[in-house]
A and B are shown apart, each in its own frame.
Chain A
Amino acid sequence: MTAAAVALPRAGAKPAPVRRGYRFELIKLLAQWPIRLALLGCWLAPALFVAAISNQSSLPSDTLFGRWMAQTGWAGPLVVLAFSCSWVLPLLTSLVAGDIFAREDRLGTWRHLLVAVRSPRRIFAAKVLASLTVISLLVAGLAVSGVVGGLAAVGNRPLVGLDGQLLAPGQAAGTVLLAWASAVVPTLAFAAVGLLGSVALGRSPMGLVIPALLALLLQIAQLLPLPVVVRVALPSYAFIAWRGLFTDPAQTGPLVVGLVVSLALALAASTLAYLLFMRRDFTDVAYDGTGRRALVRAVLPLVALLAVTVGVIASVTSASASGIDGVKLDRSLATSFAHLYRMQTAELHRPAVTATELRSSASCDKGGALVADVGAGNDWRCVVTWRLPGSAAVGSAIYQLDVNPDGHYVADGDGPPEVNGFFELHTATGDVQNPLWQIDSAVDLLTPTSP
């Protein structure tokens, strides 16, 4: 009998290609109603929210760019971005990546899937790619919907940047999209942590909430008076650092550091998830998450990564202490004031003046003479002075500053009333928002502090 006459089965049939696994994972994800609801919400809710808020008389001025929502359609997507970075993006990563492995445990489908795909490596790759695709769709929905809502409700107008400069609509569009793009990287880091939790904790619902819990912990950490090198080493910092794109010059240092930190976390968490997944024995029916030992294997390397990151940032940057001091605030507030003063001048139909001609300066003091002029707090008081061209008189205005540990501050005008003491301006065409009444701005934490 010749070998050809016998229909022997193929020994070791080939594993399914990743693209087939990816398609399968994508279909499973998109068939889940929580994911469908999330997609619907992300593509619709921001537009409705931005359109509704932009047309209200009371604007969310406590949110970054919220006070400009009625002025330009580009402020709305930034308000959505700020809110999303706090809660929405970590929760979305929980929903998608935090469940993509655990769900197979809950449904008891791992063995089934392995028999069909024949390669844990390819299953892992397919699941990661599918969850990233869905997360990208969700993030894209939030961004596009916010932009569409803002442009439809308010229009394509210049955006006031964080130091008061006006960004032309084209420039505003590019910067807004760049800000959203930069938020994708920390989202990937949270997604990787979600994947790791999902692999390490099996069917336990704890895996599902890990990215959200991490976001909560990091938000609390950002409120603490941490040294700046620790603050920027936290993976949530890139969720804040995008605002540096809206200063002139852009504060790219913290953003780049935040993105690198997020990328490092994304790579580390994905690698750990992969290693844990590949070590799993799928015939062990008693398996229910990899237990405390695996948790240690998952958590300790990430803590070590944080320590290394702090060390690297401390050695490559000149940042120290809180990164906030009087000189930085003087410079930042004077610049913002000059830009916004020009805007006020235009609203009042006064002769135009340039920021250079104003020669504005600020002098900030924290808590009186007995307190050092460093660090966050709401006890900063600044006096801004300026000169009008052709006049020897020196104008002055007072601001009370609430400076957050992350470098963002709100300067609240304290007079005189005709400059910054009242929230509206009386113009020939009616009352308009006074741009000098409250100022949102931020200092660069990574630039050297003054001696």
Chain B
Amino acid sequence: MVRMPRAPSEDRIHETLAVNARGITKFFGEVVALDGVDLAVAEGQVHGLVGPNGAGKTTLLGLLLGLAQADGGELEILGSPVRRALALPDGVAGFVDGPGLYPSLTARGNLAELARLRGDGCDGIGDVLEQVGLSDVADDRVRGFSLGMRQRLGLAAALLTRPRLLVLDEPANGLDPAGARHVHRVLTGLAARGVSIVISSHRMDDLAALCSEVTILATGRVVFSGPVSKLAADTGELDYRLRTSDPAMARRVATEVPELHIVASHDLLDRRDAEALLVRAALPALDDLVTRLVGAGVGVRELAPVVAPLEAAFLALTAAANRPSEGEPL
């Protein structure tokens, strides 16, 4: 008998998963918050969780933080099965629905008291404040902090536990571009050191920049889960803004490109883009267009999607999930 080479066993796969959720369901009364959700997050992976309001992101993040018990399905965190609320293994940290800070305490005070509550020492407080860029305001009361500063302090509180799995709900909320870049650097650095990160955000640019994989939820169900690149590739045709040195010639060239359509409406463009051309095409047709423009001596100044691919995919998938199926009452 010929022995077939063994596929990687399920156990082997589990060893490398920080989160392994299968068929998770959660109800609030008669409301189905999560409906058979699967989620797999590998060690060292930054995994995005996207969905419209009410899609179940916060509920799922709450389960990952051990705040409640799923009504159905199986959940493993860092290799340990989680069968009841508040029974997570060590090494999970994060926040959901805001960073959860006490305004009458200072930034350092918040972290110190949390560390004492957990029975940890206060040694790393200076380091984590430095990491999130709050050293200068360490002894200020949180009452006076902006939303972005609170988000960063929430992240510092999570980092203080030296997590192996970090669960963050909208961590870039309220951050200015510099603050957002700072947080990105911190999260990317953590992932590089093997920390798994599950992050929810409405900001597609954040997710596209940070995440290697995303899961899109709509009405409690997973409508996509996988690499960001696959999501963008699956998107198909997108609307692109084309600005050239010769708009009239560019329009003529564009009409000759197969599988490419000129979009009549300029509703999606800014007023300053009156000279721009809006085209709808998949990537191969775009390549063809650029080649032809160059051949015709037209300078291409800009060719960019009007809506980012990830956002377009998100909108398409969630709209499809929300659309009532045939026979379903509207």
- State the A residues within 8 Å of B (CB): 8-13, 15-17, 20-21, 23-24, 27-28, 31-33, 107-120, 281-286
| Closest chain A residue to B95, Cβ basis | A112
Q: How near does chain B come to A292, taking the closest CB pair, in angstroms? A: 14
Which of B116-124, B227-235, B243-251, B295-303 lies at the binding interface? B116-124
Instruction: Tell me whether B96 is interfacial, beta carbon within 8 Å.
Output: yes
Instruction: Pick the residue among B68, B100, B119 that contacts A109 (CB under 8 A).
Output: B100
Interchain CB contact under 8 A, B68 and A283: yes
Residues of A within 8 A of B87 (CB): 11-12, 118
Interchain CB contact under 8 A, A119 and B86: yes
**In whole angstroms, what is the CA distance A31 to B103 when docked?**
9
Which of B58-66, B277-285, B306-314, B315-323 lies at the binding interface? B58-66
Interchain CB contact under 8 A, B97 and A111: yes
Q: Given A28-B102, A111-B96, A116–B68 Cβ distance below 8 Å? A: no
Residues of B within 8 A of A283 (CB): 26, 33, 58-59, 62-63, 67-68
Instruction: Pick the residue among B65, B90, B103, B104 that contacts A13 (CB under 8 A).
Output: B90
Residues of B within 8 A of A9 (CB): 78-80, 89-91, 164
Residues of A within 8 A of B99 (CB): 112
Interchain CB contact under 8 A, B119 and A16: yes
**In whole angstroms, what is the CA distance A285 to B90 when docked?**
25
Residues of A within 8 A of B101 (CB): 107, 109, 112
Interchain CB contact under 8 A, B103 and A107: yes
Residues of A within 8 A of B65 (CB): 111, 115
Residues of A within 8 A of B119 (CB): 16-17, 20
Q: How near does chain A come to B32, taking the closest CB pair, in angstroms? A: 13
Q: How near does chain A come to B135, taking the closest CB pair, in angstroms? A: 22
**In whole angstroms, what is the CA distance A112 to B101 when docked?**
8
**In whole angstroms, what is the CA distance A296 to B114 when docked?**
36
Q: How near does chain B come to A110, taking the closest CB pair, in angstroms? A: 8
**In whole angstroms, what is the CA distance A119 to B85 when docked?**
9
Interchain CB contact under 8 A, B117 and A21: yes
| Closest chain A residue to B34, Cβ basis | A283
| Closest chain B residue to A283, Cβ basis | B62
Q: Given A112-B100, A283-B26, A15–B86 Cβ distance below 8 Å? A: yes
**In whole angstroms, what is the CA distance A352 to B119 when docked?**
70
* Given A11-B81, A281-B68, 17 other A-B residues pairs in contact with their CB atoms under 8 A: A9-B78, A10-B89, A10-B90, A11-B87, A12-B87, A12-B88, A21-B117, A23-B117, A28-B113, A31-B102, A31-B105, A109-B101, A111-B67, A114-B86, A115-B92, A115-B94, A116-B114
Q: How near does chain B come to A108, taking the closest CB pair, in angstroms? A: 4
How many residue pairs bridge A and B at CB < 8 Å?
110
Residues of A within 8 A of B157 (CB): 112
Q: Given A111-B95, A112-B95, A282–B67 Cβ distance below 8 Å? A: yes
**In whole angstroms, what is the CA distance A107 to B26 when docked?**
25
Q: Given A28-B102, A107-B101, A111-B97, A286–B28 Cβ distance below 8 Å? A: yes
Q: How near does chain B come to A184, taking the closest CB pair, in angstroms? A: 27
Selected A-B contacts with CB under 8 Å, 19 pairs = A9-B90, A9-B164, A11-B81, A11-B89, A12-B80, A12-B89, A13-B90, A24-B113, A27-B105, A31-B105, A33-B104, A107-B100, A107-B103, A114-B86, A115-B93, A118-B86, A283-B58, A283-B67, A285-B97
**In whole angstroms, what is the CA distance A137 to B223 when docked?**
56
Interchain CB contact under 8 A, A114 and B118: no
Residues of A within 8 A of B100 (CB): 107-113
Residues of A within 8 A of B95 (CB): 111-112, 115
Residues of B within 8 A of A23 (CB): 116-117
Residues of A within 8 A of B92 (CB): 115
| Closest chain B residue to A110, Cβ basis | B100
Interchain CB contact under 8 A, A107 and B102: yes
Instruction: Pick the residue among A15, A31, A117, A118 that contacts B104 (CB under 8 A).
Output: A31
Residues of A within 8 A of B104 (CB): 28, 31-33
Interchain CB contact under 8 A, B116 and A111: no
Q: How near does chain B come to A123, taking the closest CB pair, in angstroms? A: 10
| Closest chain B residue to A21, Cβ basis | B117
Q: How near does chain A come to B187, taking the closest CB pair, in angstroms? A: 19
**In whole angstroms, what is the CA distance A24 to B164 when docked?**
25
**In whole angstroms, what is the CA distance A440 to B187 when docked?**
73
Interface residues of B in 207-259 (CB under 8 A from A): none
Q: How near does chain B come to A127, taking the closest CB pair, in angstroms? A: 13
Instruction: Pick the residue among B28, B105, B116, B164 that contacts A281 (CB under 8 A).
Output: B28
Residues of B within 8 A of A285 (CB): 58-59, 97
**In whole angstroms, what is the CA distance A15 to B84 when docked?**
14
Residues of B within 8 A of A13 (CB): 88-90
**In whole angstroms, what is the CA distance A232 to B73 when docked?**
55
Q: How near does chain A come to B53, taking the closest CB pair, in angstroms? A: 10
Interchain CB contact under 8 A, B97 and A117: no
Interchain CB contact under 8 A, A108 and B98: yes
Q: Given A10-B89, A118-B86, A111–B117 Cβ distance below 8 Å? A: no
Residues of B within 8 A of A111 (CB): 62, 65, 67, 95-97, 100
Residues of B within 8 A of A28 (CB): 102, 104-105, 113
**In whole angstroms, what is the CA distance A27 to B104 when docked?**
10
Residues of B within 8 A of A20 (CB): 116-117, 119
10 A-B pairs with least C-beta separation: A112-B100, A283-B62, A9-B89, A283-B68, A31-B104, A11-B80, A12-B87, A109-B100, A108-B98, A118-B86
| Closest chain B residue to A23, Cβ basis | B116
Q: How near does chain B come to A202, taking the closest CB pair, in angstroms? A: 14
**In whole angstroms, what is the CA distance A11 to B86 when docked?**
11
| Closest chain B residue to A284, Cβ basis | B28
| Closest chain B residue to A29, Cβ basis | B104
Interchain CB contact under 8 A, A8 and B68: no
